[in-house]
Chains A and B, each alone.
Chain A
């Protein structure tokens, strides 16, 4: 069934390949569970639950999916494929509403994207890919080297910017991050850049002083453009477990997340945690990262994501 779907809508090679690793295990597991005719009994449900949990889907979202499977009728779900289809529908119901692409409107002042996330989630890499994406869309991006904490983070962005002719506003390691971003926004506005991508230092969501610093960056931007940042993007590592939900919740509470990018989906990580986040917080998911190349940052699409996730 899923194979036919895939043929009908050929997926981007890389993403399919990447997500197949994820989907394979899930489907294989379910098929093994339903050798021939077997009712959707309690034991089976427990196994489905287990499978979802092991895909990092999270207890809450799993329970919601299971409850739906039960509702769809124990009697009718006799074949593995029925369960599979019902599960897919259930997952789609959670992910469809959050599948919202990032649209850059035409405006006078630069569209500001503030990147936030824990250490090592892939903020800087994502910024680079986003900048390339905007360049391809004939938008002029500028970068703000707001990660003034990590050694050589500023240089990392500068080296990249030079390579791709993207201007980088920086002050150096140890500078006030809010001040760098303020400068950058001023400069981007004066020079009529279309998009300003503001990098920030990775921080664990439990560090209240660093979360305050993020709030300050937000506040300071607001002085130049009351609507800025127009997008506050949380970068999540797909390999993260249940803690991703806490990350999303805390960052959202601090600076109001308007979009999520899920990185590193090209490994074997399941990324199932987005179901949990979508279920609990309903934050839009913008992009997924499936490789090192700029084009490997793809808009998130619920159907594609689930099809690939459930594909053989």
Chain B
């Protein structure tokens, strides 16, 4: 796999240097690379073709900006175009109707509809202060209704349970009626997974749609989907007047080219991304970030936002102050750092967002995995405050006590202390260069273009 598009384009773009503008001839090879990159990212072929044409048109005759190399300029054109195609804004949900606002979910089997219903319910409840009622019209899969009921309980949504032998339409209409009676703001109707080529099932959902007239008809698709994503999206788009798309399982390492295919084929905005197992793992879709990800450039913006959102600013400031004053970085600080990294979903989730980070060998990711963080924290927790402030006093017998207290081995304690020493050295160097200070100042100041990323 290629590290990222810029690197991949490197060879073919070297020749572009020296020429002041992008011409048909000198972008030929680069366009081929883009094509391959998109195909590797699972963008559907017809979509790739259209896209390449658009990029060609836009890139041709374009003056290369002073600050950028022709290669960078080309990548910029590609990225802008990708962002543009993906929809310039992530659409919001339409809640401006007489309640209850009815949402209908649709998608293939295993695309993540039910989990998404729970995430949406929680999102509506927490971000929009809406009361939500959910109902499952999946009369086929065993225990599908129990699944939704359990999830609804977890996220604090009401759940309408249909009769055992009720039809999907009967369940949906009764759910809407219940929502109206109980003055719920939103009712989300979950449906059974269905194949787009299954005529009977597709007409079932059409009938369902006509029966409840949803304000939002959301197509849930797996972001790991391949070339077929375009066919599936087209079929669902033709059967139902979709209002938006939700991409599930976007927390894996798939490039997510399906996003582009689906967006292009349906013409409907991608509204959310499902990014984890938990019910709060729903993110508003940002076209630019997914564009970067498809191109393998990492979701730097997402990283910054997440860091901003979750990092404890006061703590960061405290640490920055401390380092500035020339005081050492001690184990207390180290523990704080460990906790913050964990609260952001572990090192691997951070790495994924950085350019090239997703391609780190699994072994390397393992080394800095969740377990390691927990273990390190346990070791530090087993120390006395004095030991944490002055790690140098930790010798043989203290080490044995700490290892026993944290359920680890003396070697683990040694490793942690060694890491600590390395961190201290790094901090000293950073202080000299002002790197860490800048980084923390950046976080403090709300990110923005000054970030040293």
- Residue of B at shortest CB range from A21? B197
Question: Do A119 and B249 contact each other (CB < 8 Å), given the known contacts A149-B277, A151-B146?
Answer: yes
Size category of the B interface is: 35 or more
Contact call B255/A242, Cβ cutoff below 8 A: yes
Contact with A along B129-150 (1 / 0, CB 8 A): 0000000000001111011111
* Distance (whole angstroms) from the CB of A274 to the closest CB of chain B: 12
Complex Cα–Cα for A130 and B292 (A): 41
Question: Roughly how many angstroms separate A43 CA and B394 CA in the complex, as a whole number?
Answer: 69
Interface assignment of A270: CB less than 8 Å from any CB of chain B: yes
Interface-centre pick from A155, A207, A270 (highest chain B CB count, 10 A): A207
In the complex, whether A165 has a CB less than 8 A from a CB of chain B is: no
Q: Please give the number of chain A residues whose Cβ is less than 8 angstroms from any Cβ of chain B in the complex.
A: 50
Chain A, residues 188-210, CB within 8 Å of chain B (1/0): the string is 00000000000000001111110
Question: Contacts A118-B224, A152-B147, A208-B366 known; A59 to B39 CB distance under 8 Å?
Answer: yes
A-B contacts at CB below 8 angstroms, number = 154
A163 CA to B142 CA, complexed, in Å: 10
- For A56, A150, A269, the residue with the greatest tally of chain B CB atoms inside 10 Å of its CB is A269
Q: Assess whether B228 is in contact with A239, with CB atoms less than 8 Å apart.
A: yes
Known contacts A120-B109, A120-B112, A209-B370; is A239 also within 8 Å of B42 by CB?
A: no
For the complex, what is the distance from the CA of A273 to the CA of B222, rounded to whole Å?
Answer: 16
- Per the 8 Å Cβ criterion, residues 142-179 of B in contact with A are 142-144, 146-151, 154
A241 touches B108 (CB 8 A): no
Task: Establish whether residues B142 and A243, one from each chain, have CB atoms under 8 Å apart when the complex forms.
Answer: no
- Complex formed: what's the CA distance from A173 to B39 in Å? 40
Known: A119-B110, A152-B146, A270-B228. A209 touches B45 (CB 8 A): no
B215 contacts A by Cβ under 8 Å: no
By a CB distance below 8 angstroms, the chain B residues around A206 are 251-253, 348, 352
Contact of B95 with A by CB under 8 A: no
Q: Which of A122, A149, A155, A273 contacts B142 (CB 8 A)?
A: A155
- Supposing A50-B45, A241-B42, A241-B257 touch, asked if A153 and B147 sit within 8 A by C-beta, the answer is yes
Do residues B226 and A241 form an inter-chain contact, with CB atoms below 8 A?
yes
Q: Quick check: is A55 within 8 A (CB to CB) of the other chain?
A: yes
Instruction: Answer yes or no: A212 CB below 8 A from chain B CBs.
Output: yes
The verdict on A253 contacting chain B, using a C-beta distance below 8 Å, is yes
Q: Nearest residue in B to A163 (C-beta to C-beta)? A: B142
The segment from A72-80, A101-109, A260-268, A304-312 that touches chain B is A260-268
Q: How far is A251 from B371 in the complex, measured between Cα atoms in Å?
A: 19
A267 touches B196 (CB 8 A): yes
Contact of A239 with B371 in the complex, beta carbons under 8 Å: no
Contact status of A56 and B110, CB under 8 A, knowing A243-B254, A268-B232: no
Residue of A nearest to B226 (CB): A241
Question: A191 CA to B106 CA in the complex, in Å?
Answer: 43
Known: A242-B40, A242-B42, A273-B226. A204 touches B366 (CB 8 A): no
Proximity string of chain A (135-163) to chain B, C-beta cutoff 8 Å, 1 when within and 0 when not = 00000000000000111110111111001
Q: Are A156 and B40 in contact (CB under 8 A)?
A: no
Interface flag for B340 (CB, 8 Å): no
Given A151-B147, A156-B146, 6 further pairs, Cβ under 8 A: A56-B42, A59-B40, A122-B110, A158-B143, A240-B225, A243-B254
